[in-house]
Structure 1
């Protein structure tokens, strides 16, 4: 029987375990929720603001995407630790992303790699390609085993796996290779990014 409450409980237990091991218990547990992707194309995200109120206490939120819960436990752990790194930076006033939260900078990489992760650079989204450091994977294997969550949300009919609607898009997408900013045009254009001075590249 599917019990969403059991899935949330497991992710809360994982947060508490990771918090103690990698952050020495420094982080307050946020609201941890399971939600459809909604077209974001992300495995998870952390709210910038404290958006939950419980008995006068304010909390941020870490959301794990429901469509991707049944990945191997090591991948789910990497996603949760990724969002915990964002949470740590938010608490400490460290600006670790730009371009509306999509481009991850060196500050994110530094925090994430100090807390159990290995980060590589994505051409468009910066330092965001996340895997477990070898010693972290070994510790999780010893501590949690390899049992994964055997449930995930099916995409709605007529949408992609990430939740976005299938449609014919006649616009041309351009991306700044430096900061990842995206623009669209109905014809071919030659545009320079005002922030980086780099020409946008057609995708």
Structure 2
């Protein structure tokens, strides 16, 4: 097995150390997942080329409670459709039994399985991608992930398998030194701070009313969303922090309908 080596990037003229660090980190994520595909080329034929030619590896903020995702044809490069492999840059929010670096590697490998399935027209999920089936489990084992059965999500990949941990030890070391820019996650406190900025300021005469146009009312802190299920006469509701709410993203596994904003 050839040792994984980092190649020097072209000089960057942005003049921003954080920008340079983020670009280098994103490039590292791409090189690591391509190196994994290279080491598994006999078992996952064509994955290396697909990752190099048709997938954009990105990292950044997300309000979704996800370590990452794969979205087919999310970008365009000229006339070519390009898929996205996204890694959540909140590296501090990771499974506590493994290091942030291994958690990122597990995310890259998990999404690489979806890349391979998409390229080879393998149906590896259902329920809008929430349920991972047996075919996905086979790919996950092949690439070096440990799998577990879960009632709601089908197959989970909590960490590397023993084989994966041995094969990718050097990649974990590179990630440990390369994950240098961490995205501060958006929290409920952020939403509250934004709401307080929208409150009217006191006037100079102490009346408590600001001069000029009326200031907008503060946003509610929570969204109460409901699906098609009911408990007696009452709908099943879900409370979500306003800053984390995204319409149509959360779907009920019982009735299959998305949760919709039912008011606050």
Distance 2:148 2:113 in 1: 15
State the 1:13 CA deviation: 1.0
Q: How many residues matched? A: 176
- 5+ residue gaps, structure 2, are 1-16, 95-99, 191-219, 237-253, 257-264
Aligned partner of residue 40 in structure 2, secondary structure = helix
- 1:10 equivalenced with 2:35 (yes/no): no
Query: Contact 1:118/1:133 (CA < 8 Å) preserved in 2?
Result: yes
State the 1:125 CA deviation: 1.2
- 5+ residue gaps, structure 1, are 172-181, 196-203
State the 1:194 CA deviation: 7.3
Match of 1:85 in 2: 113
Could you tell me the TM-score, scaled by structure 2's length? 0.58
Could you tell me the TM-score, scaled by structure 1's length? 0.74
- 1:26 equivalenced with 2:33 (yes/no): no
Larger Rg, first or second structure (1 or 2): 2
Match of 2:222 in 1: 167
Query: Contact 2:123/2:135 (CA < 8 Å) preserved in 1?
Result: yes
State the 1:53 CA deviation: 2.3
Q: What do the CA deviations read for 1:83-127 (whole angstroms, capped 9, x no partner)?
A: 000110111111111111111111110111111111112231110
Residue from 116, 131, 143 that aligns with 2:144: 116
Q: What do the CA deviations read for 1:110-156 (whole angstroms, capped 9, x no partner)?
A: 11111111111223111023311112112221455262513321122
Residue from 127, 131, 147 that aligns with 1:99: 127
Of Structure 1 and Structure 2, which has the larger fraction of its residues in helix?
Answer: 2
Distance 1:185 1:98 in 2: 24
| RMSD, aligned α-carbons | 2.9
Higher RCO, 1 or 2 (CA under 8 Å, sep at least 6)? 1
Distance 1:66 1:166 in 2: 25
Distance 2:180 2:235 in 1: 46
Match of 1:200 in 2: none
Runs of 4+ more than 6 Å apart:
none
